[in-house]
Structure 1
Amino acid sequence: MTGIRAGILGASGYIGGELLRVLLGHPRVAAVVPVSRRLAGRRVDGVHPNLRGTTELVFRSMDDVSPCDVLFLATPHTQTMDMVPGLRSVAPCLIDLSADFRLRDPVVYERYYGTVHTNPSLLADFVPGLPELYREQLEEADLISVPGCMATAAILALYPLSADGLLDGAVWVDGRIGSSGAGSAATSTNLHAERSGAMRVFAPAGHRHEAEVRQATGLEITMSATGMPEVRGAQVVCRGRLSTPLREPELRRIHREHYADEPFVRIVAQRRGLYRLPEPKVMHGSNFCDVGFALGDDRDVVLVAALDNLVKGAAGNAVQCLNIRMGWPERLGLAFPGLHP
Structure 2
Amino acid sequence: MKTTYSAAILGGSGFVGGELYRLLSMHPHIDVQFVSSESKKGLAVERQLRSFRHHNDKPGLKFSSLSELKNSHFDLVFSCLPNGKLPQIISPLSERCTRLFNLSGDYRFAEDEINQAHYPATPGSLPPQMVSQYFVPEFTAQDSTARLINLPGCMAVASLYALYPLVKNELVCGRIFVDAKTGSSGAGKSSAETHAERANNFRLHKAFAHRHAPEIEKLQQLSRDPLALTFAAFSLDTARGIYVSAYSTLKPGLTAADVRQAFFSEYQHAPFVHYLKNGQVPMLKTVCGTNHAEVATLVEGDTCLSLCSLDNLIKGAAGQAVQAANLYLGLEAICGLQQLNEAGWP
| Correspondence list, 1:239-278, <5 A | 239-271=247-279, 276-278=280-282
CA deviation string 1:192-240 (max 9, x = no partner): 3311111120113222111001124444211100010100101111111
| 1:235 and 2:243 matched | yes
Instruction: Report how far residue 54 of structure 1 moved.
Output: 2.2
| 1:98 and 2:131 matched | no
Q: TM-score, normalised by structure 1?
A: 0.91
> Is the contact between residue 157 and residue 291 of structure 1 (CA under 8 Å) also seen in structure 2?
yes
The answer to which structure has the higher helix fraction is: 1
Tell me: CA distance 1:214–1:77, structure 2 relative to 1, closer, same or farther (3 Å).
Answer: same
Match for residue 308 of structure 2?
305
Gaps in structure 1 of 5+ consecutive residues: none
> Is the contact between residue 21 and residue 32 of structure 2 (CA under 8 Å) also seen in structure 1?
no
> How far apart are the structure 1 equivalents of 2:92 and 2:218?
28
Number of equivalences: 331
Tell me: CA distance 1:87–1:179, structure 2 relative to 1, closer, same or farther (3 Å).
Answer: same
CA deviation string 1:57-77 (max 9, x = no partner): 211122333211110000011
Match for residue 202 of structure 2?
199
Pick aligned residue for 1:54 from 51, 56, 76: 56
| 1:174 and 2:182 matched | no
> Is the contact between residue 131 and residue 145 of structure 2 (CA under 8 Å) also seen in structure 1?
no
Pick aligned residue for 1:134 from 122, 131, 140: 140
The answer to which structure has the higher strand fraction is: 2
Instruction: Report how far residue 87 of structure 1 moved.
Output: 0.6
Tell me: CA distance 1:165–1:235, structure 2 relative to 1, closer, same or farther (3 Å).
Answer: same
Gaps in structure 2 of 5+ consecutive residues: 222-226
Q: TM-score, normalised by structure 2?
A: 0.90
Tell me: CA distance 1:10–1:78, structure 2 relative to 1, closer, same or farther (3 Å).
Answer: same
**Higher mean Cα deviation, 56-65 or 312-321?**
56-65
SS of equivalent residue, structure 2 residue 294: strand
**Which residue identity does 2:118 align to in structure 1?**
Y
SS of equivalent residue, structure 1 residue 174: strand
| 1:284 and 2:279 matched | no
> How far apart are the structure 1 equivalents of 2:207 and 2:125?
29
| Correspondence list, 1:316-331, <5 A | 316-331=319-334
**Higher mean Cα deviation, 236-245 or 157-166?**
236-245
**Which residue identity does 1:308 align to in structure 2?**
D
- CA-based RMSD: 2.0
Displaced runs of 4 or more, over 3 A: 119-125, 216-219, 336-340
CA deviation string 1:12-60 (max 9, x = no partner): 0000011101101100013432111221111112321112322312111
Identity of aligned residues (%): 31
Tell me: CA distance 1:39–1:93, structure 2 relative to 1, closer, same or farther (3 Å).
Answer: same
| 1:154 and 2:159 matched | yes
> How far apart are the structure 2 equivalents of 1:258 and 1:299?
21
Tell me: CA distance 1:200–1:33, structure 2 relative to 1, closer, same or farther (3 Å).
Answer: same
